[in-house]
Amino acid sequence: MQTKRIENRTALSPLNERVFKWTSLWNEINRNKHYYILMAPFMLVFFLFTVIPVAASMGISFTYFNVLEPPRFIGWQNYSRLFLNDDIFMIALRNTFLFAIITGPVSYIACFMFAWIINELPPKIRAFMTLVFYAPSISGNVFFIWQVIFSGDRYGLLNSLLIRLRIILEPIQWLKDEQYILAVIIIVQLWMSLGTSFLAFIAGLQTLDRSLIEAGAVDGIKNRWQELWYIVLPSMRPQLLFGAVMQITASLAVADVSIALAGFPSVNYAGHTIVTHLMDFGTIRFEMGYASAIATVLFAIMMGTNLVTQKLLRKIGG
């Protein structure tokens, strides 16, 4: 396809200069054709299941589409309904931001702080502690065990502990009471959040250039906190940027934990998020146009938050 387009252009263009530009580009592509061939399998699948769907989702969001009939263009109606007429979406939006504002920064700082402390331990203990902190994030759906811990009857581990300590007299319905659902989900989400970025931070700290720290000591760095701010953080900037992307994206995509613990839909939508709202319309009600509008809003929020954070983090350590 690429070939055809370029040949057409060269044939049609009356300007020699333009012809030259296209032929030299073509030569360049031809010379590197092995690289394109190597990239082709990945890129084919990547475009088919990631890039095209993002564009398609934006397109579908301007239509009424129920899968059975062909999509019908309805302009901005899905969006106006979403923001003006959908109370549940407002709850989802509020919950999502609440989750993100708490789990995002807390998990990010926890990832770094624990990596920083663990890094000072002797190698064997360091490897063990890394495993302890990282294991929950790769244990798959073992978070179901929290259901037993937060179980609403006396058999629930937390309830029985609190009753025995006489802090409460009656078991609390942790997963059914609106008051607690958000907090429980946040705790479990934090439990699982020391993932890829945590490893990236540990790795970054281990490969830190020791001579920088020695130079810093000569230049009058007085304590560990100054060392952290003026030397460690700036030289770990690439890992910090990478970690931020991982944590932000994860903290805005809370859904599995909410569904597993609080149910779907949760009591009075207390654990409802943008993603569960999207699932509701996409996989239960089959309002694909509307669900795509939700997906597009989610996409915009994730990209916006990530890009702004990247800007801010580049300023770390001056």
Partner 1 sequence: MTEKKLNRSFAVTFLLFILLGLFGAFMALPLIYTINHAFKPLDEIFLFPPRFFVRNPTMNNFYDLVNLMANSWVPFSRYISNTVIIAVIGTVGHVLFASAAAYPLAKYKFPGSKAIFNIVVLSLMFSPHVTAIPNYMIMSRVGWIDNHASLIIPSWAYPLGLFLMKQFMEQIPSALLEAAKIDGASEYRIYWQIVMPNVKPAWLTLIILRFPALWGSDGGSFIYSENLKTLNYALGQIIQGGIARAGVGAAVGLILMIVPITLFVISQSSVIQTMATSGIKD
Nearer to partner 1 among residue 248 and residue 270 (C-beta): 248
Q: How far is the CB of 5 from partner 1 (least distance, A)?
A: 14
Nearer to partner 1 among residue 14 and residue 119 (C-beta): 119
Q: How far is the CB of 72 from partner 1 (least distance, A)?
A: 16
CA distance 116 to 232: 10
Q: How far is the CB of 303 from partner 1 (least distance, A)?
A: 5
Nearer to partner 1 among residue 19 and residue 228 (C-beta): 228
Nearer to partner 1 among residue 90 and residue 120 (C-beta): 120
Q: How far is the CB of 54 from partner 1 (least distance, A)?
A: 6
CA distance 271 to 254: 9
Nearer to partner 1 among residue 54 and residue 90 (C-beta): 54
CB 71 within 8 A of CB 64: yes
Q: How far is the CB of 227 from partner 1 (least distance, A)?
A: 6
Q: Could you give the 3-state DSSP secondary structure of residue 172? A: coil
Strand partners, 63: 73
**Helices (DSSP H) in the chain: which residue ranges?**
2-12, 16-31, 33-46, 52-60, 77-84, 87-118, 123-138, 145-149, 157-164, 178-191, 196-206, 210-218, 224-227, 233-235, 237-252, 256-262, 274-279, 288-313
Cβ contacts of 59 within 8 Å, gap of 6 or more: 292
Q: How far is the CB of 224 from partner 1 (least distance, A)?
A: 4
Nearer to partner 1 among residue 14 and residue 41 (C-beta): 41
